[in-house]
Structure 1
Amino acid sequence: MTDSDTTTPPNRAVIRQHRGPSVVWLLPLLAAIIAGWLVYKSYTESGIMISVVFDSAEGLEAGKTRVMYKGLPAGEIRQLTLNEDLQSITALIEMNINTEDMLTDNTLFWLVKPQVSLSGVSGLETLISGYYIGIQPAEGESKRSFTALTSPPPPERDEQGLYITLYTDSARSIQTGSPVYFRNIEAGRVIEYSLSPSGEEVLIDVYIQPEFTAWVTERSRFWNASGIEIDSNLPDFSVRVGSLMSILTGGIHFDSPAFGTPKAAVNGDRFPLYPDLESSRDDLAYQPAGFEGISFRLRADSLGSIQSGSPILFKGIKVGQVTGYQLNTSDHSVTIYASLRQRYSSLVKRDSRFWNVSGIRSSFNLQSGFSFETDGLKPLISGGIAFDTTDGSSAQAGQIFTLFNSEAESLSNTLAITLEFPPGPSLLAGSQIRFRNQPVGEIVSVELSGSDGSLFARALLFEQGFFLARQGTRFWIETPQIGLSGIQNPTGLVFGNHVSVAPGLGENSQTHFVALTEAPVFQPQPGLNLVLTAPSLGSLNQNSKLFYRGISVGKVIGFQLSREGHRVEIYVNISPRYQHLITQSTQFRNIGGIRASASLFKGVDIDAPSIEALLSGGIEIEIPYEDAPATEGLHFPLQPASRQ
């Protein structure tokens, strides 16, 4: 056996069949996945198409002009189309996908381009980068079609600071961007102005920078400081010139009096815009810098030469000044508002006396001849007020004093009293106190003393009224009353209510009184005062006349129910010139109304008194025979009307 015979035969190749998919098919699958991802990415990252209508295509260019929001691109114009009206352009804009929430029916678009005005230059960056479209988003419903504004909208109020509104009759030279100054430092700007819905006011929206918001309070005063102001209020003469910017573009100044603890202003607060500095200081609630001491009021018959800024003098030294004044329409008096410097506040006491030192005071008598005096040039021209003080308690802020015409008049003898009035008619400081319709005193101040409307008043009795300051004296507020018999207290219709007084019989003096709720029923008057009793009042009322032989000899002065309530007590007064006619047998008969009788033989008989008695009632007096004279307070029955 040879070696070739013993060689092992070669192995055979084994062929196995692959039963899975071929790897070659992974390539198309991977390509499909990549294509789907690209489609999804293209869909999710594609912009939102909107249309915006512009008046003109000036500055707009497809593929170049962008929409910018806070300096960041938010979209780009893709196509410009001339509209069918041939007056406007529609821009097809692709907005970034993340701006979808910004596209609402309240969103605003406008074209930003360079603008040059006296208040400054805006849109300067467009000189290099070209025009762009501004957007101001706002909440609302989703929208895709818009109309661009022809001018930029007011800036958004998203800056830190204070946003307030000023109102005035005229904007004068104020415009958007005009500066707002505090102590000549720019503190803010005007962001917008417009007419009020009624068209009667100009509303100016103002932005105050954060570092100045603490200086804007409820007492802040704003005034227009545009241009040049000349004040020739003799003896002073002043010229105020604003900054060049305020002269060219208009400007607003403000200050905030520091007295008290005023509330800080908040967004949306409204303030008046005064035409100038002086007008802002005429406000009655204003206290100029340096006069943050006590504030008080003076009541005078007329203003005279006193004006805002007139000095308040103590021993010839200026310690305060007049800050304002107003006319009281109720009694035609004048209320003058004044403030003192803080260091002089303690000089004003509750019983301080104030008098007018304006003008020239002169006197003449046979012994000393003619003399005149004045308190200096400034009080002579601009008015002035002097006062003297005592060691009494300090005055309260807002207290009302009487302003006398001269120092001599202020030294007239008076007596201070206090009155408590129950809820009822109104009463003003300066109202007179009258006894038998003659002034015997004056109400100095009135304060609300309770939630029910009760009043506490301080008053002065003149020397002729000192006898009223005793026990039993009664005070009440007299109001005008209109009735068929006439008008009671007619002067009250013009000058307001006054205080009436009836003297008491007490021997001890008294300076504090609790007033009556209404006038007392029985007030004895000069003449003969009697009491008539009747089952009912009938047509009688206050001031009904008493007639004797057709002549008025007295009147009804009051009435009330008797103590048991079964009869009416009618108080009458017989005039002094006729009181001797009344005797103890005098008869009183009611003649009010119309009396009629009828019979078969005499027919109808109608008896009517005078028109006056018919309207307001009346009493007829009959004196059947001579008798002893009637005495004060005597009672008589009131007979019913006679029947024929």
Structure 2
Amino acid sequence: MENEINEPIIEKKSSISFVWLLPIIILAVLGWTVYESYNKKGTNITVTFNSAEGLKEGITPLKYRGLELGKVTKIDIKDLDKVEVNILVKKEAAKYVAKKGSNFWIKKPTITLTKITGLNTLISGYEIEFMPDKDIEKNLNANDGKTDFKGLNSQPEYQYVKGGYYITLLAKNGDKVNNEMPLFYNSFQIGEIVSKELKNSNVYLKAYIYKKYENLVNESSNFVLNDALHVTFGAGGFSLKVSSLYSALIGGITISTPLLDAKKITEEKHYHLYTTSDNLEEKIAIDISFLNAEGIGVDTPILYKGINIGKITNISLKKNSVKADAYVFKKYKYLLTNNSDFFINEPEISLDGIKNIGTVFTGKYVTLNYKKGDFQTSFKDKNLSQKNNVNDLEITLKANSLGSVTKKSKIYFKNIEIGKITEISLAKDFKSVIIKTLIYDRYKKLINKNSIFYDMSSKLIDIKNLNMSINYSGIDSLLKGSIALIADKSSKKSKKSFKLYKSYQEAYKIKKLRNEGFLLNAAFENSFTLKKDMPVFYENQEIGFVNDIKFEEYYSKANLFIYNKFKKYIDKKSRFYKKSPLKIDASLNGILFEIGDISSLLNGSIYLDKTSIKKLQGYQIYESYDKMKSNSDVISIVFDNDVEGLIEQSSKLIYKGIDVGKVIDISLSKNQKIVVKVQIYKDFKSFAKQGNQYYLKKSKISLQEVKNLSSAIFAVNLGVVKNSSKKMQRSFKGYDSISKVRDSSIGKIYKVVSSHATSAGVDSPIYYKNVQIGKINSVDLSSDASKVVLDCLIYDKYTHIIRKNSNFYDISGFKLKFSLFSGTEVKTNTITSILKGGLMVITPKKYEEKADSKKEFILKKELMDDWEKISPIIK
């Protein structure tokens, strides 16, 4: 086989190899990457901080209002006190960040009384926050680029809200004001303090007013620092005033705006922040000269009838007096007359009691006796200016002996000084003493032919034949000696010479003998004692006395002499009782000792009672007021449960804070119910009306409120909700608490059911638009125990809000949501809802007809989004 030779096949090859295409593509990609990197390259800036705690290279972001603008690339030590942080800022953000006036600070988690911020940094780490200059928009194109900055230690004092309403306040006490302190108008927060700066020894505050309240603040506005906690202890007793829990914790500023149509305040103009509302009132400068100023000084108040009308501003010593510079508010200008007398009020302690007790705790104060006259601003203390008046009345008293009376003794009527002694001498026959006196012009009308004078200081106690008489009108008269007047207006004839009786008892007998009257007989039991000459009173006015007593075996009779002018008060409904000379009443306000008329201190006295609605056969004198009342004005209250804390003779019936009755008996009935008998003091008819509801006023102490605290220490009292029925009733069902009382005058009950119990309990508030419209009356299980039933009481004025398609939401406590991506969110409604729990009612815009008490509402657990925007007009 011959070898076969094939001819070669010749192919033409391309001059360019595809092997080189790959490097070209790679080069193109790299070139594009370099181009893009260069084109989008950011700007490096350096920020110097005191510490780099929490910052990490390549991780810590630079942010503005949550938007990331760059990232930390490098952290270096500048020196032992500083660190340099290099930040690569995105190109598109560099023109805003790398500018003069930019501020940088490290954002850390912050928890204050007013807000919680930065909680997400606990998970993601610290951040660097940026805030541009406030004029950044105006200077955006200015050639003021900058890359080196000094970091701030904390967030700047304030961040301007574009177009926001800012006002400037000048404060004297800057230590009482802090950033984020709220501004209130009618107890609603309408703004807050956003910065605090010291300039030229003055503290300037920048305040931001929320947009929707801008119309409430203008050039007529006044700004006063709140007294969050104000404590006083004076003549009015102990007073503790807390404006609100919020302001008690962080303080606040109250704004008052008299003219709502005035111009807005410009940011450049500043307004004074006053420490008290007194600083706002117009004042009139006055000066008062005192004999001495012991116990008073700068800031001593000037009071008139318990009202603060001014204050002392300066005290200076003169040759024969002490001068006090003071002011009086302009609205009390009418008190400043040439006839007004200023004097220092101080405590007077005697066996009668303590007068002006408030000055014992608060110190002395200045007051005045006002009389009409011409306006003036310079005054003298009445003790300094008191001189004999040419119109004063001179009279002469004749006594067998002088006793304790001296030339310094005063003359009193009802313990008010009406005159003084000018001279004492012996009569020409040396058998009596002549006392010349002066009755001040303003009181000389009290003196006539029938006036009786007696020595108030001769003897305190006189015992004759075991019949004790008392001559007492105050410790001051006993120590200094004094004379008293018993006035009698029955005569208009004048007289200038009188006998001075040695005791009140002597003078009183003379007074009684001058009266005309009539006799009546009243029976009394021999279990207690009545005595001849014992006085008879009505409405604290003496109307007669015991003329004689006829004793018998079981019942005796008192012959009462009643003065003619009081005859109209005696009828078949009249009753009498013997009043104890000493009454003791204990409560949280203290222990009250009530002493009757001094003349009856040992033996007591007889009082006429006119409250009975029943005619009696003959007249009766009872052993005590309680014995008299227990014979007629008594109601019964029947309780199913125990009445622990009720105490006979101690527990009271309270209506609108007034003591109207007391518990006189507690017993167990045959059917094992507790019967409480209550004696009514006055207006028995209104408390014995059909439909009245009685309940126990037990103490309640919680974080939100304190009720009936006295019942936790003393006896539990009873309360009543009165009915307008005309029918009478003497026996009533008792309730355990006010929440168990369902009265149509209070509101309407709606039932709200839940699958399980919530934090909201009895008395928890129910809100509509954050305004309380009711409360939870009771919480209980349904009859089949499948659900929890809340009886919700809605007050009458708000029942029209509750419609068939209204929704009840549980807003108790606070809710915390946690997410790695969205951070942490804390939601709460009110301080009350945290402390006590509560419900929120929302009625939709397309509301249905009114709900009735049979309607059951399902309790929803979480409020819908944008619930605050649901605001129907409900008719």
Measured against the shorter chain, the TM-score band is 0.3 to 0.5
TM-score normalised according to structure 1 size: 0.41
| Greater RCO (Cα-Cα under 8 Å, separation 6 or more) | 1
Asked which structure has the greater CA Rg, the reply is 1
TM-score normalised according to structure 2 size: 0.31
